[in-house]
Amino acid sequence: MKIVADDKIPFLKGVLEPFFEMVYLPGGKIGPADVRDADALITRTRTRCDRALLAGSKVGFIATATIGFDHIDTAALRELGIDWTNAPGCNAASVAQYLACVLADFRIPLAGKTLGVVGVGNVGSRAVKVGEAFGMRVLQCDPPRAEREGGSRFRPLDELVAEADFLTFHVPLERGGGHPTFHLADAALLAAMKPGAVLINTSRGEVVDGSALKAALQAGSIGGAVLDVWEHEPEIDLELLELVRLGTPHIAGYSTDGKANGTAMSVQAVGRHFGVIEYTGWTPYSLPVPEQPLIRLDAALPESEQLSAACRASYDIRFDDAQLRADPAGFERQRGNYRIRREPPAYRIEGGAPVVRTALAKLGFRFA
């Protein structure tokens, strides 16, 4: 059996070869001729899995090593009789690490500030815990869950918009249906944001109306924005890049741990689908150790500085921001060749004030 796979999926090469013929190609360049005689695909978001790609092929199964699946035309796959799976939650901790580093980068006391989390699935639930770890007041908005679960846990979006000091989006991209999210953050939402509030988007670029956000930032009507995802990426709006506080090339979920999880879930799914029991419990054998796994904190510093130092030591978000600003045309290259980035459990904390250590423990850090 033959599998075509995105050549940027980490930890995959050499794993399936004992049982499958593997062909590795750039995800954005996989075409109908490449998959015509393939039995399965293992993809990322850059491969549009639709009728144009798959009609007339042998493909019967697609595994995407990503949480999101808006690159998969699920209706077309259903009509073509192709099964598919994604990797829900695989990089949730990675996005949480990114959000924690964004918040810590402000280097202000966060306790008492309000974090509004829009979309409370695998990733959004982690975002809630980040806010709680920092002592923030956390408001949650998730209309589909509110309809299913009821109760007072979830708040209307307009309440979050009016009250949040930081508004972070963790929703799938939905252009129709009962809860569309395309341009969810439009001009009206931006105008209703609390003065000085910051918008953060790590979900999908089209969730935020880029033109409206650019106008709001130019007018100074909101306090700032942090974007990891962009409309029309990789061809991003350079004027908007200049205006955001932090801009990164769609790598919030690109920790080494998160990518390993996505690959493992895809390999396991292939094993289940084709009945190859050797792969149903597969995970990468080991992940690279951080260059500096021990983080020493000075308890005499302000607590916000200690938190910032710990987060920055595990992930320097400013490095990714600087790379994108220096070479925005290299958006895809920066994604495809992303550096090793380990999550908090790979680090040990030494020192620090008790309240800081408590917060860092909730973020997943360990202690020397």
Scanning the structure block, which residue is given the tokens 């439009």?
186
Q: In what order do the strands lie in the sheet with 137-141?
A: 137-141, 114-118, 166-169, 198-201, 224-227, 246-247
What's the one-letter identity of residue 124? G
Q: What phi, psi does 5 have (nearest 5°)?
A: -130, 145
pLDDT at 23: 98
Is residue 147 annotated as part of the catalytic site, yes or no? no
Spatial neighbors of 267 by CB under 8 A, at least 6 apart, are 12, 15, 16, 279, 282
Q: Residues for the chain: how many in total?
A: 368
pLDDT at 68: 85
**Which one of the listed residues 206, 231, 233, 303 is annotated catalytic?**
233
Query: Residue 136 and residue 130: Cα distance in Å, rounded?
Result: 9
Tokens found for residue 326: 């220096």
Per residue in 112-144, pLDDT (tens digit) is 999 999 999 999 999 999 999 999 999 999 999
Burial class (CB in 10 A: 0-12, 13-18, 19+), 186: middle
Q: Which of 166, 170, 160 is nearest to 93 (CA)?
A: 170
69 and 86 Cβ atoms separated by less than 8 Å: yes
CA–CA–CA angle 217, 202, 270 (5° rounding):
160
Measured on CA atoms in the order 159, 162, 164, 167, is the torsion positive or negative?
Answer: positive
Buried b / exposed e across 112-143, counting CB within 10 Å, b at 16+?
Answer: ebbbbbbbbbbbbbbbbbbbebbbbebbbbbe
CA torsion angle 181 187 191 195 (round to 10): 80
**Which one of the listed residues 46, 170, 204, 273 is annotated catalytic?**
204
pLDDT at 245: 98
pLDDT at 2: 98
Per residue in 323-349, pLDDT (tens digit) is 999 999 999 999 989 999 999 999 999
Q: How confident is the model at residue 152 (pLDDT cuts 50, 70, 90)?
A: confident
| Mean pLDDT calculated for residue range 185-200 | 97
174 and 144 Cβ atoms separated by less than 8 Å: no
Tokens found for residue 38: 């393939």
Q: What phi, psi does 265 have (nearest 5°)?
A: -65, -35
Scanning the structure block, which residue is given the tokens 């109908």?
32
Please check the confidence at residue 178 and state whether its pLDDT lies above 90.
Answer: no
Average pLDDT, the chain: 96
Is residue 183 annotated as part of the catalytic site, yes or no? no
Q: Which of 273, 306, 294 is nearest to 347 (CA)?
A: 294
Query: Is residue 232 classed as helix, strand or coil in its secondary structure?
Result: coil
Per residue in 220-258, pLDDT (tens digit) is 999 999 999 999 999 999 999 999 999 999 999 999 999
Cis peptide before 234 (omega within 30 of 0): yes
Q: Which H or E element spans position 167?
A: strand 166-169
Is residue 250 annotated as part of the catalytic site, yes or no? yes
pLDDT at 70: 87
Q: What phi, psi does 113 have (nearest 5°)?
A: -70, 160
pLDDT at 164: 98
Query: Is residue 63 classed as helix, strand or coil in its secondary structure?
Result: strand
**Which one of the listed residues 250, 273, 335, 341 is annotated catalytic?**
250
Per residue in 349-361, pLDDT (tens digit) is 999 999 999 999 9
Q: What phi, psi does 161 have (nearest 5°)?
A: -60, -40
Query: Residue 116 and residue 166: Cα distance in Å, rounded?
Result: 6
